[in-house]
Amino acid sequence: MQQRSPTAASASASASSVAAAAGVGGVEPAVTLDQVPRWSDADQRLSPSSSPTAAGSDETPASSFLSFADPLIGDGAAAGAGGRGASRFPVDHEINSKICLWRGHPWNLEVDAVVNSTNENLDEAHSSPGLHAAAGPGLAEECTTLGGCRTGMAKMTNAYDLPARKVIHTVGPKYAVKYHTAAENALSHCYRSCLELLIENGLESIAMGCIYTEAKNYPREPAAHVAIRTVRRFLEKQKGKITAVVFCTTTSSDTEIYKRLLPLYFPRDKKEEEIASLKLPADVGDENGETIIDERKIRIKPLPAGSAINKSAAPAPVDIPLSDSGLTRSRNSFKLDSYLDPAFMSLIKDPDLRRKEQLEKSVQANKGFNWAKLVGFGDLGGPPLSAAEDYSLHS
């Protein structure tokens, strides 16, 4: 057998390492966080015209993440940017330094954890395309031991052949217009669950693709609002425990959406903060980024039109003085009539009239022999007054 010289072997090994580093032969090189620009970097505001593009290609190359266009510079963007009240997302340079936007698959990054959007059974067929192929068969085998995952929740596995240390699996919601608010909050739970699981395991960096998959019919831009604002709210509370959050996109349309929305929630200076205060949607969620749901109030509705009941305006509330024995009996201070419904009171006979009728019957009965009492029917003077009637009669 012919043996290669040490020089030839060294040259071959060198060529293999160069080929792997360049991504030749189907091997995609791992990308470190140092190679991914931060959102706060000054050179991220360059115009896209200055970024390199592939010759004869309409698709933006993967290297285009090196240059972000400023989405707030446009027609009418500066008009009326005087600010309307306090900003809901003020400038925070420390938080901005932890945000990255990467055009590519998250599992190519050397981070502590990458996020896999999957279904409740953690099936390989419903996972992020290419993830299981890059991680190897061990990932699918471990997923079968997790017992599934509920929508909005997250579970962690090893990353196997990926550059990352761990894989966080989460289940995004299916979207329906009828349940828009529920879908928003479930999606917000997905992102927050991933970040919470990251911290619980002592990890600090995470790469997150679009959890809202097209297969679940979630509108792209509204979902991006939920994703970005949830991460912002989480970092406001836990920024000391996380070093990097990488938003990963695989299409030019998603990339442009993130370029346009990131300055709204992560403004880099006062100008962006002022303009963002005008462009932010009315509902930006609560302190966790979830949609706020107003509690339903029980109201007493008025009767239908045409009712014979008096529709005069309700009297103003009055103070009800109290005594040691309860309500005071002063009619001047306790305006009982203002609390009585005329329709309800019309069903009750006037106590004075009822007492008069009872007395008349009693007088008439006393004029002659009470035959009714003799045969066991008792007095025919009518039923006694109720406590309420007696109180009203003598008050």
The yes-or-no verdict on residue 73 having pLDDT over 50 is no
Higher pLDDT pick, 285 / 79: 285
pLDDT value, residue 394: 58
Measure the CA–CA gap between 170 and 212, rounded to whole angstroms. 10
pLDDT value, residue 343: 54
Measure the CA–CA gap between 336 and 391, rounded to whole angstroms. 12
Please state the rounded mean pLDDT for residues 359-379.
64
Tokens of 258: 């993130």
Q: What is the pLDDT of residues 81-115, one digit of tens each?
A: 444 567 889 999 999 999 999 999 999 999 999 99
Q: What confidence category does residue 40 fall into, taking pLDDT thresholds of 50, 70 and 90?
A: confident
pLDDT value, residue 357: 82
Q: For the chain, which domains are there?
A: 30-50+60-279 (3.40.220.10), 322-394 (no CATH)
Please measure the distance between the N-terminal and C-terminal CA atoms of the chain and give it in whole angstroms: 124
The lowest-confidence range among 107-111, 210-214, 219-223 is: 210-214
Helix ranges (DSSP H) in the chain: 6-22, 93-96, 131-135, 137-143, 180-200, 220-238, 252-265, 270-279, 342-345, 351-366, 371-374, 387-394
DSSP secondary structure letter of residue 353: H
Q: What is the pLDDT of residues 263-317, one digit of tens each?
A: 999 999 999 999 888 888 888 878 887 877 655 444 545 555 554 445 455 555 5
Q: Give the global pTM.
A: 0.62
